[in-house]
Amino acid sequence: MSNQKPDNPFFTSTTEIPDEFFCDRKKETEEIISYLLNGSNIVLKAPRRIGKSSLIKHIFNQPAIKEKYNTLYVDIYGTKNAADFREELQRCFINAPFAKEFKVKKKIESYIKSVQLDLGSYSESGFNLPKIGLGNYHAPIFSIDEIFELIDNADKPGLIVFDEFQQIQDYPEKMAGIIRSFIQQLKRTRFIFCGSSRHMLNNMFSNYNQPFYNSATSFDLDIIGLNAYTQFVTDAFAGYNKTIDSEAVAFAYYLFSGNTYLMQALMKIVFSDTQENTEANKELLLKCLDEMLDRKDSDYRDLINRLNSKKERNTLYCIAGEGIATGLTSTAIMKKYNLDNASSVQNALGNLCGENLNIAVNIAKGTYILQDRLFELWIAKRGGYMELKLANVKERFEKERSLMVSNPDIIAPNL
Ligand SMILES: Nc1ncnc2c1ncn2[C@@H]1O[C@H](COP(=O)(O)OP(=O)(O)OP(=O)(O)O)[C@@H](O)[C@H]1O
Ligand SMILES: [Mg+2]
């Protein structure tokens, strides 16, 4: 890796992060691997952009997993029904290197022969699927249970990850029951069910009446610790003869409440704006934050334009202004943010937290925050009160953490 060092050691647009640029997660990696080796399936939950998918890919890369399992990662985000699920599962399966294994290959070969496919070919080294647009190519169709069975009977045990697994609850079919019954037939395949909707996943896996009840060990992925993140950033800078003030790293950490994506995105800019043999400090970091906010300008404007009414907008500005907003229907707050009456605020909150907008989240009884801290900061910048947001970031972080810890059943925020 060292002879092809990337220009920037902070990764933001991929979940395939080389080990040397992957921050910490040692304990989580070890623990998850040991659950798997002990025969458990796992349900991995964390708010958005904390690092679930990256952790899964990292685990796939560890020798204990890489050498022992055929791994398959299936992201079902955006799938709407059982047919979409099957299609995505098959697409990932056919493209997986282990599908070259002989039994799987034979099965696909015989299928290809049976439909007398003249496009696309296979050889000892694997399949050459035809390029899209070349002709009347129809991919072979395997049913879900057939794919599971092929994986279960391959040379090594299978490890299948379904990312955004809560999605199946929105299918018109009773998908959880269907998948669960297939899984029960398998002898040696392990599963990781992954997702950001803790509430839905808890319901699927901890509710006695649900098909997946008690079928996987629950694992809540927390944010990366401050010390581990600071060490990671310091080392990353040092690898390029640059330094960074550890207080600036801590400031970013608190400001974004440890959200991995936002911290990495900011550090990426700070890194590229730091000259070799110089030190990045908080002043530079604030300049880079400003740049980050400017880059999101049109996205956030669009988001505000999606709000139907002034009431929703004012309720949004209220949550953004307060940061951790509580007592939204009190006279003082309603007056401060021009909110006309309690029931319209309740309505607006329902919409802002609803699946459609998903802008705000309820972190404790009557307490709301915005899902995206950058959006909160952008609103503050526009409203001319950014200074307030940049003061006391540590206290804000600690307050939010303690509320979330004491209210574990309320949907965890996507900070
Ligand atoms: N341990 C890590 N070290 C370095 N970068 C990381 C780490 N974990 C995550 N990231 C970065 O943070 C970003 C968000 O991570 P990832 O996409 O894995 O989160 P997620 O929880 O799966 O998010 P989503 O809910 O949106 O699917 C990624 O772009 C990745 O590059
Ligand atoms: Mg993900």
Which pLDDT tens digit goes with each residue over 250-300?
999 999 999 999 999 999 999 999 999 999 999 999 999 999 999 999 999
Q: Is the pLDDT of residue 374 over 50?
A: yes
**11 ligand 1 Cβ < 6 A:** yes
**Which residues are CB-contacts of 135 (< 8 A; sequence separation ≥ 6)?**
118, 119
Q: What is the mean pLDDT of residues 304-324?
A: 94
- The fraction of the chain above a pLDDT of 70, given in percent, is 87
pLDDT of residue 101: 65
Calpha distance 407→337 (Å, rounded): 27
The two beta strands, 279-280 and 243-244, are parallel
Domain 298-406 belongs in CATH node 1.10.10: yes
Q: Band of the pLDDT at 245, cuts 50, 70, 90?
A: very high
Q: Is the pLDDT of residue 409 over 60?
A: no
CATH topology of domain 24-220: Rossmann fold (3.40.50)
Q: Band of the pLDDT at 395, cuts 50, 70, 90?
A: very high
Whether 105 and 99 have beta carbons less than 8 Å apart is answered as yes
Domain with CATH 1.10.8 in the chain: 226-295
Whether 361 and 368 have beta carbons less than 8 Å apart is answered as yes
Q: Is the pLDDT of residue 1 over 60?
A: no
Q: Is the pLDDT of residue 211 over 80?
A: yes
Q: What is the mean pLDDT of residues 11-29?
A: 96
Tokens matching residue 240:
């390029």
Q: Band of the pLDDT at 309, cuts 50, 70, 90?
A: confident
Q: Is the pLDDT of residue 413 over 50?
A: no
Q: Is the pLDDT of residue 124 over 60?
A: no
Calpha distance 73→83 (Å, rounded): 18
- CA dihedral in degrees (207, 211, 215, 216; nearest 10)? -70
- CA dihedral in degrees (201, 203, 206, 208; nearest 10)? -140
**29 ligand 1 Cβ < 6 A:** no
Calpha distance 215→71 (Å, rounded): 20
Domain 226-295 belongs in CATH node 1.10.8: yes
**265 ligand 1 Cβ < 6 A:** no
Q: What is the mean pLDDT of residues 166-180?
A: 95
The minimum-distance atom of ligand 1 relative to the CA of 260 is 12
Q: Band of the pLDDT at 39, cuts 50, 70, 90?
A: very high
Domain with CATH 1.10.10 in the chain: 298-406
Q: Ligand 2 center to residue 414 CA distance, Å? A: 12
- The fraction of the chain above a pLDDT of 90, given in percent, is 78
**Which residues are CB-contacts of 61 (< 8 A; sequence separation ≥ 6)?**
19
Tens of pLDDT, residue by residue over 58-99, are 999 999 999 999 999 999 999 999 999 999 999 999 889 888
Q: What is the mean pLDDT of residues 361-381?
A: 95
pLDDT of residue 312: 94
The minimum-distance atom of ligand 1 relative to the CA of 12 is 29
pTM beyond 0.95: no
pLDDT of residue 110: 67
pLDDT of residue 119: 46
- For the chain, the average pLDDT equals 89
- Would the CA dihedral through 305, 306, 308, 314 be positive or negative? negative
Ligand 1 probe mutation, 14, 260, 361, most atoms within 8 A of CB: 260
Q: Using alpha carbons, list the distances in angstroms from residue 321 to 276, 296, 350, 389.
A: 38, 19, 18, 9
pLDDT of residue 102: 54
**47 ligand 1 Cβ < 6 A:** no
Domain with CATH 3.40.50.300 in the chain: 24-220
pLDDT of residue 114: 57
pLDDT of residue 107: 67
Q: Is the pLDDT of residue 120 over 60?
A: no
pLDDT of residue 38: 94
Q: Which ligand is nearest to the CA of 11?
A: 1
Q: Is the pLDDT of residue 32 over 80?
A: yes
Calpha distance 144→168 (Å, rounded): 14
**232 ligand 1 Cβ < 6 A:** no
* Cα angle 257-261-267, degrees, rounded to a multiple of 5: 90
